[in-house]
Structure 1
């Protein structure tokens, strides 16, 4: 969860875009756009930040946001409707604690959030680093403990897609300044240095350690990385083509100030372009800040509805939810190694249905997100 007024400090890294042909989904190329999923606070204090501060519930965000209650008429009174955190309200009228009280550094330590203290501790234990300290892949926590910098479920996804023979690329997208460290960590893992995933050395994906930038304005979106520079002023399809031909693993810092100037709404979010007339390509954006409320979400989805068009139309998050947009459940991503793999497979199944709807000229069919 990005704190309003400060660049986002994503907790753990995830992949997003992917692609494959219509009739043979397994051959579609996948392109994963993911936040820089890490377990440390934003730089420059990366080396001194503790993993506990980024685990759901510790700095208020994900666990407080997933804790659902119903606000009573009297200020400060809540009636809890569920003791199980969830991304979506379990009933009408339910609100997240976070939506009313914001980021609470001690949410699980006292008050109404104390009921989730054991849940927080259990997930923190799951994040403990299992081997000798690794400067790139682990981060220090409380005395004598280290934690994964990147969620193991992310590396399990890379390993499985590789073993399944899938064509895919990963683009890290963050508002923060963590890209150099995250890209270096992934490079080390693909070099066979991760003790839980030694087979990643066989994954033939290059890692570009040069972070890029994406900057937005009313007139255009500009992408730069090293000597590369692309802008959408004359042709808004340029960046779609760029990401659809992306190879390996890389990362871009998105435009936090633009998001803030647009009141943290979809309009100012990280841009994502989708072309349903290009069925060999499937872009998937995975981010814990994606929400069905377009006034409070982090991605700006745009679809080329007309074949060959260079002018996409903005669509609501609900139109692509669990098709090209995945709201990460961080607790599940920590506890279940197959979590991201299931997310990708569900998106692929839904994408086939979405493409069929586009062919029938009914692209606005809504999905229930299940």
Structure 2
């Protein structure tokens, strides 16, 4: 090999080494939003810009047929069983994406499932699962609404609350103590829009909930929810503002939580947006770091909700402990209009979901089929009416 060729060879080698080293140390900033009730930011599937929904509770990603047609996601002949967010067992076909990109980081031959889960499909979202999330470290600034992503751990401050985690199928787990009961397998599920769900199987938890009922500090609801296997059947949920609980021995006060049967214990996006100004997920250290707010700010909600189902507007959520709502609405009841819109005003269910969920309503005006009109204002679920 002559000298010019040797020089070119070593120059290319050094260039590649520094290129790899540079990417390993790179930090990319990306704006994010929670307007779609999930943590959403821009990424790419096979070079096509795509809205990613960040979901630490899903072991792998979920694509829709929109991703298949628009972004080149390809199906395989295999399938896999999953348990969705509503606890339902379902089988989904496997797909592969040749390239998935976040900032300057690219992952090849990424496996996912394909399912036209109504909310993901209607909101044009690709569900980014924990298999890819765990390969990177993340910083979410809820004040600036900007995330940072890197392969290196992010710097933290001494005043941050540290939550160690373990991983099961790439999904993060921690431990939590409530009223003397220790839960050792609590899922951190940032793809869950709520604050926290707590199963009511333990006797001490049942007693805790009964005391709250007697004190009039429980809001009860019948509701359906979206998941990979479709809408769930209406189920009873009891919401409580918990005075205090501990996550890995760190005390948290005034935390909103939903108690229900047939559920897993999980901490959702609503917990982090209500309690934190900033969240750092250093997966390489197996730790979450929380920059806490001075005071938690859980969002108010409407005590009743409506969905478009099979061409009809139907009540999908009823707060039973709100006497006005409970006396006026029943679950699955058909209504004539909501905020001036009838079922016939919408092209399909996606049209309705985008109109209803992406509008910041101050109040709902629901007209019943008998012509009666009910005005509904927001309230905290923990406040019993």
TM-score exceeds 0.5: no
Is the helix fraction higher in 1 or 2?
1
Is the strand fraction higher in 1 or 2?
2
Larger radius of gyration: 2
- Give the shorter-chain TM-score range: under 0.3
TM-score by length of 2: 0.26
Query: Which protein, 1 or 2, shows the higher relative CO under an 8 Å CA cutoff with sep ≥ 6?
Result: 1
